[in-house]
Amino acid sequence: MFERVAPVFAVHDLERALAFYASLGFGVRTYAGGGYGFVSRDGVEIHVGEVGDVDRRAATAYVFVGDAEAVAAEWRASGAEVHGPQDTEWGRREGAVVDPDGNVIRFGSPLRGPER
């Protein structure tokens, strides 16, 4: 059966992409064959593949986190532009960060408080 999933983000500059994700606290490594890399943190893995000047669509991954506010604060401290987080009608506190190639990591945690 299924074991895990890793979204693949197309990037124009592999080194720039890996540096961006390292600044967010992800561990990064490159594929020995070149043109491809891996970013991982707390069991979450995203692959990044260099596409050069090819026109492509950005991708989005959703990461379930324990505390969206803490993630947003950490990523803002790294210099990243973080959108949100904000409460949603479906009971989550969600935010997003966009990498230099337009790929989006949406992240969210359960709403906390007396209403939940």
Reported pTM: 0.83
Give residue 52's domain range. 8-110
Q: Is 19 helix (H, G, I), strand (E, B) or coil?
A: helix
pLDDT at 58: 84
pLDDT at 54: 72
Query: Taking all residues of the chain, what is their mean pLDDT, rounded to a whole number?
Result: 92
Residue 116 lies in a domain: no
Predicted confidence (pLDDT) at residue 116 exceeds the cutoff of 50:
no
Residue 65 lies in a domain: yes
CATH number of the domain encompassing residue 37: 3.10.180.10
pLDDT at 73: 98
pLDDT at 114: 55
- The number of CA neighbours under 13 Å toward the Cβ of 44 is 13
Summarize the confidence of residues 33-37 as an average pLDDT: 93
| Spatial CA neighbour of 51 closest among 94, 91, 83, 8 | 8
Residue 115 lies in a domain: no
Residue 70 lies in a domain: yes
* Domains contained in the chain, number: 1
List, for residues 47-102, the tens digit of each pLDDT value: 999 997 777 788 999 999 999 999 999 999 999 999 999 999 989 999 999 999 99
Residue 68 lies in a domain: yes
Residue 2 lies in a domain: no
